[in-house]
Amino acid sequence: MKSNVFLYVLSLFMFSAPVFCYAKDDAVKLSAQIRTRGILDAKDFNNETPANRSTLMRVRLNANFRPTEDISGFFQLQDSRVFGSEPNTLSSINNVDLHQGYLYTTDLLVDGLSLKAGRMVLVYGGQRLVGAVGWHNVGRAFDGTLVAYKLKEEVKFDLFATKLVQQADPEMSGDTAAYLGGLYLTLYNFDVYALLEMNRHQTLADSDDLQRLTLGTYRKGSFGMLDYETEAAFQLGTRINPNAKKRQDVSAFMVTGSVGYTFDIHQKPRIAVGYDYLSGQTPDDTDYKVFDTLFATNHKFYGFMDYFLNIPVHTGGVGLQDLMLKFQIIPHKKVTLKVDFHQFLSAQTVENMNSYGQELDLTLAAAYHKALNFTLGLSVFLPDALMESRFKDNSDMAVWVYLMTTANF
């Protein structure tokens, strides 16, 4: 019994002592976030069905360890839940997970070269292809390795390799996992990238289910009070058609652009217009011409009601056009009001139909304190023929409301 107590005390000291030592030198930084979001969801375009009500909560605890100037470790624990999802008040759904955990070294061998290895968030460009999906109650993270080199702030590149799914197939030998790798180069606010996806599972003999390369450019900048953002990408490679069980060549593209103007007055009103085009295909196409947004943060771009969160699944493979008009104003130094309007169209006409409908998003954000802020959102969607067909001919206006509280410590 005494030996067990001794081992417990010794292990507690061993794990705690380094933290205490580093804390004295400010080598350990702790932070946390608590976020709750209450939602009223009436998005089925049917006013006769009751709205769904739910409350989401996400809690994150972060620890950044820096024993030396050029070596650090980051850990982020996360609990993500829906209120009332546990069977009773004495049960646990055991959903605490490691959202991020990686080793990070800078100036490795040469100045400007860094290495990050472990589980991490990846964010590139405007997040149209690789993003963190911070709005989501879980958020996206990748398992892999990132090598970066920065000659200076305007000239840098990232090279990364990640494993997406460790899938197993008892009928196959060898590697059947799915991977994502990429090279992202920044040259004076002009980005060039190449993203390679591989799914090594072989539905057909001697042919991976997916080998797709996405090549693209991204640029964001401003001229005085005028700002702009543009991105273009092309996808090529091969895939296995899951329905026809045959190999297809990939040939798809995306073009996006927006321009905004901020008026130089106290409330900083800003107005912007934009257009996105994501290619789709017709039933007669032999090549796969549907652009896939990969691991994007689509909530940022294609309406806050998330009808187009998973592209191309939510567009049925016919592509998407988004014509948008956005307005923002700061009526008070701690309050921001945003109004976004979207006209959604398909890229390919379907039985003489090409309109999904119109969405209007109103967002009011208030900073109560530097550690506490509130966000109120109200969105409505007026469906057209394509959306009505997707929702079993329901044609009523859809409504979605949320109130979110975010506390950062």
Domain that holds residue 246: 31-408
Rounded to two decimals, the pTM is 0.89
Measured distance CA(38)–CA(83) in Å, rounded:
10
Q: Which amino acid is at 166?
A: Q
- As a residue count, the chain comes to 409
Q: How large a percentage of the chain has pLDDT more than 90?
A: 79
Select from 239, 341, 291 the least CA-distant residue to 129.
Answer: 291
**Has residue 18 got a pLDDT over 60?**
no
Q: What is the CATH number of the domain that holds 165?
A: 2.40.160.100
* pLDDT at residue 152, rounded to an integer: 84
Q: 18 lies in a domain?
A: no
Please indicate, yes or no, if residue 153 is contained in any of the structural domains. Answer: yes
Does residue 4 fall inside a structural domain? Answer: no
**Percent of all residues in the chain with a pLDDT value above 70, rounded to a whole number:** 92
Number of domains within the chain: 1
pLDDT in tens, 190-210: 999 999 999 998 888 888 899
- CA-closest candidate to residue 397, choices 377, 383, 385: 383
**Domain annotation covers residue 3:** no
Sign of CA dihedral 103, 104, 107, 112: positive
pLDDT at 23 over 70: no
Confidence band of 16 (pLDDT split at 50, 70, 90):
very low
Confidence check: pLDDT of 243 > 80: no
pLDDT band for position 133 (cuts 50, 70, 90):
very high
Q: Mean pLDDT over residues 142-162, rounded?
A: 94
Residue 13 located in a structural domain: no
Q: Does 144 score more than 50 pLDDT?
A: yes
Q: Give the Cα-Cα-Cα angle 2, 5, 10 (nearest 5 degrees).
A: 125
What are 275-305's pLDDT values in tens digits? 999 999 998 899 999 999 999 999 999 999 9
Is the predicted pLDDT of residue 106 greater than 50, yes or no?
yes
Can you give the pLDDT at residue 14? 33
Looking at 130-139, 201-210, 232-241, which range is the least confident one? 201-210
